[in-house]
Amino acid sequence: MSFKNTYLPVATLLQSKGKLLDLSRPQIMGIINATPDSFFAGSRKRGTEEMLQRAEEMIRQTAVILDIGGVSTRPGADNVSEQEETDRIIPAIELLNRHFPETWLSVDTYRSSVARQAVAAGAHIVNDISGGLFDDTMLSAVAEMGVPYILMHLRGTPETMHQPSGYANVTEGVYEDLRQALRRCTDAGIKDVILDPGFGFSKTLQENYDLMNHLSALRGMGRPVLTGISRKSIIYKTLGNTAEEALNGTTALHMVALQQGSTLLRVHDVAAAREAINLFEML
């Protein structure tokens, strides 16, 4: 499959609740998990003071978006009810919106009811790991709310999404899946969509690296591309270390992603990501 003749100008300006966010230059999304069991312990922030301190630090280090999640998507994570997810996320978003009103907030959820409550509480973006596959009312809800949508790629169900799905060619498979999902988004009426290839989901270790090496192909759909590889197992399994030791590997792959055209990095370590972006821009 050739992507050379499918490239479109990339829409880089996001709009939400009267705010504008320009992704013509690389930007950073900082991860804050309101959970007790996320795979990287450093991202778990549940108390009010701890969450505020972490958010303030990330904003000072130039994160333009804070992504708030209430359900761990690591392999083997416990199932969390909709009520528990809501109880974790909504107070966090209200708190951060109150203290940092100029900062964009993203809600990391695949449930439309949680997304609705989060946007009402102050969130500006819906970040859905399922790309609308786990809740058939998600796309219409996002369109109705008029906020940007992060469309992540995976195959399977919450129980099987970490299992390889068998691609003849992973880049072509992800491209085609996202192309069809993007069409569903636009048909639903969603205006601003960010593409996330879903590193670590439904792909073998080697497929993740093959996809990274051809990430620029996704820009052929004319949408900004988010890369979320921060401290993931694709790094520490390759290097034989742990999530706590995977910052250097994360930074190395961030530079590759930037060279491949990604303009949004979803990260645990904002300062290191900013250094990578600064050096990339010098190049």
Token pair of 144 as six digits: 């109705």
Q: 71 Cβ partners below 8 Å, 6+ apart?
A: 35, 77, 80, 85, 108, 109
The one catalytic residue among 44, 45, 203, 266 = 266
Q: Is 274 a catalytic residue?
A: no
First and final C-alpha spacing in the chain: 30
Phi/psi at 29 (5° precision): -110, 120
Tell me 270's DSSP state: H
The one catalytic residue among 219, 232, 237, 274 = 232
Q: Is 232 a catalytic residue?
A: yes
Q: 178 Cβ partners below 8 Å, 6+ apart?
A: 131, 151, 153, 195, 197, 218, 221
Active site residues: 232, 266
